[in-house]
Structure 1
Amino acid sequence: MNLNKLLLNIFSLNDENWLKHANPCSVWSRFATLPFVVLAVWSRVWIGWYCLIPVALLMIWIVINPTLFKKPKTYERWSSRSVLGERIYMKRKETPIPSKHKLPIFILNILQTISGLILVYGLWDLNVYLTLHGITSIYLSKMWFLDRMVWLYEDVMEEGK
């Protein structure tokens, strides 16, 4: 099973749930979760292994979030189009995406991965600067990625007309 299928299965992202996840409340509430995850992991300093309780709750939130909201009334918002672009990207094996998007998306995925590794190391080492650098880099690369997903969505929709 490839990574895309694994993620789709974990997050229960069938066609119906993709449309629910396109609700801006879903997008932004999930997007805002990272600082809480960082705080929960960092809390091991204060509460030891009990930190796994908030970490587990936050992981559950991240997994179920895409299914909790209703479909938006419109898909015109930037956040909605970013999710619909992600949906197109995840189905790129079935329906190829325009080639101009492949390299930038690949680079942004690499940046997000490196940022995640920096964050994980910062949390492991309890290094405030690396942790903040990781969070900042993740958010910047994720926002850039989501913006690219909007662009992908708009290009694919324009081709379909």
Structure 2
Amino acid sequence: MADPASADSSTVDQRSLHARLEDTFWRRHSNPWSAGTRFAVTPVLMYAIYHRKWRLLAAAVTFTVVNPVLFREPKNTDNWFSEVVLAEEAWLAEGKGTTDLGYPNVLNLLNGGFGALALASAIRRKPVGTVVGTAGIIVFKTWWVEAIRRRTGVSER
């Protein structure tokens, strides 16, 4: 029979590791190059799908996945890109979620709708839908992160 005390200590260690990894994720993702290039990758993803450039799509997806830890922790977070990442971290830590019908989270629902439009249009090679959908993704993501930046007070630190 396992010792309950040792089970508790391993759970604490795992949570501690999880907390450290999460902290590292957010600190590194607050690098303005990380946040900025995440915005730029959306059109690349849609371009790759639209033009059936599968290696480019694989590279863009890989970049999206590793991006938050690819860059070093910034020396200074006194810039818009860093602030919106720190605001997102604070927003999620407060348990406010990202999608519901209340403002500002409704903006992410709209973002998702535009994402569906962009993806479906890119697959069907419909240029107007692809461009409108991609622009909508960027507009509503930008609007959402700016709204939570203001609501969390990150810009006032």
Q: Normalising to structure 1: TM-score of the pair? A: 0.75
Residue 17 of structure 1, CA deviation:
1.6
Aligned-partner SS, 2:104: helix
Q: Give unpaired runs (5+ residues) of structure 2.
A: 1-17
Residue type of the alignment partner of 1:20: R
Corresponding residue number in structure 2 for 1:83: 85
Could you tell me how far apart the structure 1 residues matched to 2:85 and 2:118 are? 24
Q: How many residues align?
A: 136
* Percent of residue pairs bearing the same amino acid type: 26
Q: Is the 8 A contact 2:83 2:154 kept in 1?
A: no
Contact 2:38 2:67 in 1 (8 A): yes
Moved over 4 A (4+): 155-158
| Distance (whole Å) between structure 2 residues aligned to residue 105 and residue 89 of structure 1 | 11
Q: CA RMSD in A?
A: 2.5
What does residue 8 of structure 2 align with?
Answer: none
Q: What's the counterpart of residue 107 of structure 1? A: 106
Query: Residue 16 of structure 1 aligns to which amino acid in structure 2?
Result: T
Distance apart, 1:53 and its partner CA: 2.1
Q: Deviations along 1:62-82, whole A, 9 cap, x unmatched?
A: 010110111111222111110
Q: Which residue number in structure 2 is paired with residue 6 of structure 1? A: none
Residue 136 of structure 1, CA deviation: 1.1
* 1:22 matches 2:24: no
CA distance in 2, matches of 1:79, 1:156: 11
- 2:68 corresponds to 1:66: yes
- What is the Cα deviation at residue 155 of structure 1? 6.5
Q: Is the 8 A contact 1:116 1:134 kept in 2?
A: yes
- TM-score after normalising by structure 2: 0.77
